[in-house]
Amino acid sequence: MNPSRRIQALGVSPIRHLAPLARKAEERGVRVLPLNIGQPDLPTPRAYYEAIRSFDAPYTPYAPSQGLPELLEAIREDFRVRGVALDPESILVTAGGSEALLFSLLTLCDPGDEVLVAEPFYTNYNFFADTAGVKLVSVRTDPEEGYALPPDADLEARLSSRTRAVLVTNPNNPTGTVLPREDMERLGRFAARHDLFVLADEVYRDFVYREGGFVSFGELEEVRDRLVICDSVSKRFSACGVRVGCLATPRLDLAALALKLGQGRLAVSTVEQRGAAALYGQPPSFFAEQREAYRVRRDALVGALSRVEGVSCRVPEGAFYFMVRLGVEDTSDFAAWMLREFQHQGDTVMVAPGEGFYATPGAGRDEVRVAYAIAPDRLVRAAEVLGRGLEAYRQLRP
């Protein structure tokens, strides 16, 4: 018996597929500096742990499929203070932002439907789309123009009779771009003109470093009747392992349909939801301190990379990622070589090859995505080791 063609056709994660090589490097005594993954090392608020410890019941029941009432209300209030009004029934708690994205595609699209997405894009979108039987149709952005939203003509050129939605990540992973309000409004008009849903992945909304801060698609009245927002506690609370997110939409009919998926998988962890509800009680100063910490890290890594010969990048405006051109032909080969064969004074670096963030064949082969989620001194050291690695690699593969 053979496994399914579907599972065999799924690609591997460019973020995680090098992990076995990293483990082997560590077994050899090499320290691996991780630039490949957005795993924050800032402290998770203590309120999460206190809420978990305080849980005391004779047994642990299923939570409601929609989510624990206290968590739903905390999420709703968080949206409200940010200018996004939602009904209590508008929110579905999910097992992380990943499940929110998958449920959104299953709710909005039929098998064979298409979704527009700006390229480069978060590589796991491929997995969600493949699982839902949806085709991602990419629209190229230009790094020289800051990966800005493409002109309407470029978007329209990629439309078909099967196009159902536009998937937009703001702030963007992997580019660090933040959409200005005028581009968001333009995208809303485009979606209305072509009767498309807007699926907004806003999990990095607390990490904007430019003037003006963050604007949610939920604040735009002209988008609300076609909008689904995906959010998560993972990044904003430095709680990636909690695996709690949400799907939120002003459309009560869409929320009710998505709830059927929630009922099918029964519920998200009761205990984790209690902890997540406590996370939402953080004061504004918490997010300001988080932003400043990541701004310092961003500046440290961008500054250190600017001193590496042959490397080019732009300063990201949000999230904690950006794309970097390394000046080599095949960053997948380079990334694996760094873990298998290279170390400098006991250190090597793990990066995410850029090709996996593109749908266009051959695009991104000279790029990597880097994350600045570790301490500034480690980021500077990683850039130094990366530079040494590039020097050695270019001699081997001129």
Q: Is the pLDDT of residue 398 over 90?
A: no
- The answer, yes or no, to whether residue 121 has pLDDT greater than 90, is yes
For the cut 90, the answer to whether the pLDDT of residue 234 exceeds it is yes
- Position 358 confidence tier, pLDDT thresholds 50, 70, 90: very high
Torsion of CA 18, 22, 27, 28, to 10 degrees: 110
The CATH code of domain 46-279 reads 3.40.640.10
What predicted TM-score, i.e. pTM, was given to this entire model?
A: 0.95
**Residue 11 has what pLDDT?**
79
Please state, in angstroms and rounded to a whole number, the distance separating the CA atoms of residues 294 and 314: 16
- Mean of the per-residue pLDDT values for the chain? 96
How does residue 62 score in pLDDT terms, banded at 50, 70 and 90? Answer: very high
Would you say residue 338 has pLDDT above 90?
A: yes
pLDDT at 284: 93
Domains 5-43+285-396 and 46-279 share a fold: no
Higher pLDDT, 350 or 5: 350
Place of tokens 């270019």: 394
Note if the bond before 361 is cis, omega within 30 degrees: no
Residue 140: the pLDDT is 96
pLDDT the model gives residue 16:
82
**ω into 171 cis (within 30 of 0):** yes
Given a cut of 80, is residue 270 above it in pLDDT? yes
- Please answer whether residues 263 and 115 qualify as being in contact, where contact means their C-beta atoms are separated by less than 8 angstroms: no
Which residue in this structure is represented by tokens 């009432």? 69
The model's pLDDT over 247-263, given as tens digits with 9 standing for 90+, comes to 999 999 999 999 999 99
Q: Which of 370, 371, 367 is nearest to 332 (CA)?
A: 367
Percent of the chain at pLDDT exceeding 70: 100
Q: What is the model's pLDDT at position 298?
A: 98
Tokens representing 208? 């904007």
Q: Assess whether pLDDT exceeds 80 at residue 384.
A: yes
- Rounded mean pLDDT of 220-239? 97
Q: What angle do CA 114, 117, 121 make, to 5 degrees?
A: 130
Query: Which listed CATH number (3.30.565.10, 1.20.1260.10, 3.90.1150.10, 3.40.47.10) goes with 5-43+285-396?
Result: 3.90.1150.10
Would you place residue 6 in the very low, low, confident or very high pLDDT band (cuts 50, 70, 90)? Answer: confident
CA pair distance 12, 123, nearest whole angstrom: 10
Span of 226-235, 270-279, 389-398 with lowest mean pLDDT? 389-398
Residue 366 confidence (pLDDT) above 90: yes
Percent of the chain having pLDDT more than 90? 94
User: How, if at all, do strands 321-325 and 312-313 pair?
Assistant: antiparallel
Residue closest to 207 by CA, chosen among 367, 34, 85, 40: 40
User: Is the pLDDT confidence value at 43 over 90?
Assistant: yes
**Domain segments of the chain as ranges:** 5-43+285-396, 46-279
Which pLDDT tens digit goes with each residue over 64-120?
999 999 999 999 999 999 999 999 999 999 999 999 999 999 999 999 999 999 999
Buried b (16+ CB within 10 A) or exposed e, 120-135: bbbbbbbbbbbebebb
